[in-house]
Every structure is written in structure tokens, then in C-alpha cells.
Amino acid sequence: MSLIHKKCKNIKIVLTDVDGVLTDGGMYYSKDGDVMKKFHTRDGMGVTLLRKMSIPTIIITKEKTMMVKKWSSKMKIKKLYDGIIEKESMLEIICEKFNVKSEEIAFIGDDVNDLPLLKKVGFSASPNDGMEIVKEKCDYICKKNGGNGAFREIADLILKSQF
């Protein structure tokens, strides 16, 4: 069994960023100034597959938008922590609330503001198009880019390691 599979074997919760992970990081503006983001259906299925195996997904993002709230609700995300500047500050809260240890948590992030949390969890990952400094510190670099199935890739890896 590889080190990656060993790290994934005991994961009980998956944390994820939004922009650059669940989306491609782009922000699309309508002529009326409305902001839109693209979420990939395969990533949504990854959330569903994890949930069916009793592994909840939690979103931690610095953004605070109705769009992410709606997507989270539709996907039955266990908890949305939005408007969070220092994401690592949520780790102790999550561990206590869900009765898990930090080594039983996976986190996928793509940018420098994700680094402190990525360094504290049991399994860390970045989309293929994540920032180089982030990829250097992660346990796993996805083959897929953010917004194009990176989250699903992590979900499948965790599920394959456990079941």
C-alpha cells in the first residue's frame, strides 16, 4: 500500500476550498454585473459518493456569496464556513464539532492562503493548476485542474483507499 493510500485510509472528513478547486477560479460577469462561477458535475458527484460512505464534505472559503450557499445546499454539504480569512483557525472547531483528529481530515486547496491548513491535516492535495508553492507542500497533486474534476479525483482516491 502506498503512502498516499495509507494517509487516505483513515480520512473521515474532506475539507475543500471553492475558487480554484471546485471552480476554475474564473469569475464571469454578466452585463448587469452579476458574478457567475462554474462548478463541475463530477465534483458534485464526488461529494455525493463521499456522503453515501459517511464521509462528509465541508467547505471553507474566504468568499461569502449566495451562489456558494446555493451550491452547498444543493450538494448537501455538511457545513459551509464562508467568509473565513484564516482557514486554519477552523481546524480545532471542526475537530471538536465532528469528533475527529486533524490526521483524519483531508483538505484540497490551491493558493497561498490555503497553506497553513494544508500543513495541519492528515492528507493534503492541490489541483494540477494550483500555485507551485502549494503543490510543493501537498501530499498529492491532482491530474485534474480546479473546476474540472480535481475534487472528484480526491474523492475517488479516498474511497478507493477505504473500500
pLDDT digits (tens, 9 = 90+) for 108-123: 999 999 999 999 999 9
- CATH number, domain of 38, equals 3.40.50.1000
Query: Over pLDDT 90: what percentage of the chain?
Result: 93
Give residue 34's pLDDT: 85
Q: Residue 44 sits in which domain range?
A: 3-162
Residue in the structure block whose three cell numbers are 472547531: 93
Alpha helices in the chain (DSSP H): 3-9, 41-52, 66-74, 91-98, 115-118, 132-137, 150-162
What gap in Å lies between CA 92 and CA 116, rounded to an integer? 13
**How does DSSP classify residue 105?**
E
pLDDT of 1 above 90: no
pTM, entire model: 0.96
Summarize pLDDT for 87-110 with one digit per residue, the tens: 999 999 999 999 999 999 999 999
| Domains contained in the chain, number | 1
